[in-house]
Amino acid sequence: MVSDDKLSQLRSDLDSINSNLILLLNKRQLIVNEIQTLKKENKANSLWCPQRELTVFKSYIKENPVMDLRYVLMYSLLIEKQAQQSGDYPTWSSQAHLEVTGNSIQHLINPILLFCYCKKDFFQLKLKTQFLDQLKGIIENG
């Protein structure tokens, strides 16, 4: 049986972690905004950089090899939400990249992240030609 003191301490620890998560998410958003501003000032062709995402996602999967698919979705949604501040980032969760939409988690995840997580799932997606063309080099070299 768990003591009330132990339970109280665990809940307090969890509250602290939750507060820190929110602070980190806010800090991350500020950094994303700065990066997007710099890209705009340097007249980058696109604020979305598939090659950069491939590098980041490969590292993320390597650091978290037993990641549950739902955590992959959360990570994908975090990046999508924060990057969309610029308006120049694909809305993966709305399946705008898919020729054939579906109701599985895989359909909602950034396809580059899905490629890094599970190539088999990635290759089951029916991507629109526009996205397939943009991701061709990643697929061939990734």
Domain boundaries, the chain: 1-44, 46-142
pLDDT digits over 78-95, tens only?
Answer: 999 999 987 688 999 999
pLDDT digits over 100-131, tens only?
Answer: 999 999 999 999 999 999 999 999 999 999 99
Q: Strand, helix or coil at 125?
A: coil
- Per-residue model confidence (pLDDT) at position 1: 63
pLDDT digits over 4-37, tens only?
Answer: 899 999 999 999 999 999 999 999 999 999 998 8
Stated pTM of the model: 0.89
Spatial separation of the C-alpha atoms in residues 113 and 3, rounded to whole Å: 42
Q: Under 8 Å CB-to-CB from 106, ≥6 apart: which residues?
A: 69, 114, 118, 121, 124, 125
Q: Under 8 Å CB-to-CB from 50, ≥6 apart: which residues?
A: 112, 134, 135, 138
pLDDT digits over 37-75, tens only?
Answer: 898 888 877 778 899 999 999 999 999 888 899 999 999
Tokens of 41: 């000032």
